[in-house]
Structure formats: structure tokens, C-alpha cells
Amino acid sequence: DGGITQSPKYLFRKEGQNVTLSCEQNLNHDAMYWYRQDPGQGLRLIYYSQIVNDFQKGDIAEGYSVSREKKESFPLTVTSAQKNPTAFYLCASSGQAPKGESGANVLTFGAGSRLTVL
């Protein structure tokens, strides 16, 4: 079955360490996204990528980095510069919107990765 796989599901990190969260999709979707979820704040966009080898900053990109070397993969690195990294991270992807319906993309989400900084 097609879907999005995020790993690890749970991750613990010491302060000052970089960590990389994996996101793989086999839906043949062009676009991929990373969101961060904190209690009471909903989902906030970190980075997104519409096509391989291209990505854009979202609303809270500081302290994070991404790469998009392959269509199916969009890893997120949480760097030591991220001051408050403890959160639930969600990866999503979407296919091409129907012609004339830009913005209509339905996002498919992974099960998330919970990062805790000790």
C-alpha cells in the first residue's frame, strides 16, 4: 500500500546535538512538507518542496535544514541552533493539483516523529 513512512517514531536528543528525521513516500507525489506540532498551536510549516532539488522555507525554518535529492525522500535535520526542538514532527506529501486548481492539493500525512530534548 502507498503511504508515507516517518522514522524514528520516538527520538531523544541531548542538547547541542543535531538529529535527522526521515520521511519517505511511495505515492509518487511531487510535493513534500514538514510541519511541527506543539500543544495548543496547531501545525506550523517548517519547510516544503514542490520538486526534487528545490525547497522553500516555511514559517518557522530557523534551526532546521532539509534536502530533496530524491523524489521519494525529504529528510529534516533539527540542528543545535533550534532553541526549543521538543515537538511532534509531521511529514506530508501531495500530488499534482488538477489543472486550474492550484492550491487544491490534499496532503497525505505520515504518522509523525516525536522528538524530546533531554
Partner 1 sequence: AQKVTQAQTEISVVEKEDVTLDCVYETRDTTYYLFWYKQPPSGELVFLIRRNSFDEQNEISGRYSWNFQKSTSSFNFTITASQVVDSAVYFCALSEVYTGRRALTFGSGTRLQVQP
The contacts of residue 40 (CB under 8 Å, 6+ apart) are none
Please give the Cα distance from 80 to 42 (Å, whole number): 23
Residues 20-79 that bind partner 1 (CB under 8 A): 31, 33, 35, 40-45, 48, 50, 56, 58
- Binding of residue 91 to partner 1 (CB under 8 A): no
- Write down the least CB distance from residue 74 to partner 1, Å: 13
Euclidean distance between CA atoms 28 and 39, whole angstroms: 32
Q: Is the C-alpha dihedral spanning 19, 29, 33, 25 positive or negative?
A: negative
Judged by beta carbon, residue 104 or residue 118, the one nearer partner 1 is: 104
Q: Which stretch binds partner 1 (CB under 8 A): 11-19, 61-69, 74-82, 100-108?
A: 100-108
Give the pairing type, strands 54-57 and 42-51. Answer: antiparallel
Binding region for partner 1 (CB under 8 A): 31, 33, 35, 40-45, 48, 50, 56, 58, 88, 90, 92, 101-112
